[in-house]
Amino acid sequence: MINIKEVLTAYSEERKFKLKEIEDGKFSIDIAMKLKDGSFRYQFVWLWVSEGRAKGKDCVYFTSRVGTYTPNLNKEQLLRESGYGVYSTITIVPDKDKSGNPCETVVVQASPVYEYLNEDEFLYILWEVAEVADILEEKHFGGDTN
């Protein structure tokens, strides 16, 4: 089984991404994506091991915010766009806004079984979650808001 902290640390140092261990075993990483014009846009991904999530097996839970859900959001289009990812999906989760008020947030998430995950898949899923969230954020919320 991979050591998540070691893999994230090496990857963030190589790519110069900001990595933070929020608490023991829970991480945030700010993925930088180079745009066609040479500038960068950034997308936070949070991840941790969720014990017993898949029929008793531990999963690595990846999640990245897209934007605050409102009834005006085109849910049908979001459902179609869930096919952007290979390992990830789009969902709506309970959250808090920047002021601390309860809200619902559209996120991209993945939760592969930890024991079957190798380093290449782990890094691919990390990138995919960030990339799909960034695409949806731009398309549905007008830009880099999270």
Q: Tell me, what's the pLDDT at 83?
A: 85
Least confident of 21-25, 52-56, 58-62, 140-144: 140-144
CB atoms within 10 A of CB 100: 7
Q: Tell me, what's the pLDDT at 38?
A: 86
How would residue 40 be classed by pLDDT, with cut points 50, 70 and 90?
Answer: confident
**Alpha carbon of 97 to those of 47, 78, 106: distances in Å?**
19, 21, 12
In three-state secondary structure terms, 17 is coil
Q: What DSSP state is assigned to residue 49?
A: E
Percentage of the chain modeled with pLDDT above 90:
75
Classify the phi-psi angles of 127: left when phi > 0, otherwise alpha if psi is within -120 to 50, otherwise beta. alpha
How would residue 65 be classed by pLDDT, with cut points 50, 70 and 90?
Answer: very high
Strand positions, DSSP E, 5-99: 18-23, 26-34, 40-54, 57-68, 89-96
Q: Tell me, what's the pLDDT at 92?
A: 94
Q: Tell me, what's the pLDDT at 144?
A: 58
Summarize the confidence of residues 115-119 as an average pLDDT: 96
Give me the chain's average pLDDT, please: 92
Task: Summarize pLDDT for 14-37 with one digit per residue, the tens.
Answer: 999 999 999 999 999 999 998 888
Is 80 exceeded by the pLDDT of residue 78?
yes
CA distance linking residue 133 with residue 3, whole number of Å:
25
Its CATH architecture, for the domain 4-141, is 2-Layer Sandwich (3.30)
Q: What DSSP state is assigned to residue 83?
A: G
Percentage of the chain modeled with pLDDT above 70:
97
Is 90 exceeded by the pLDDT of residue 61?
yes
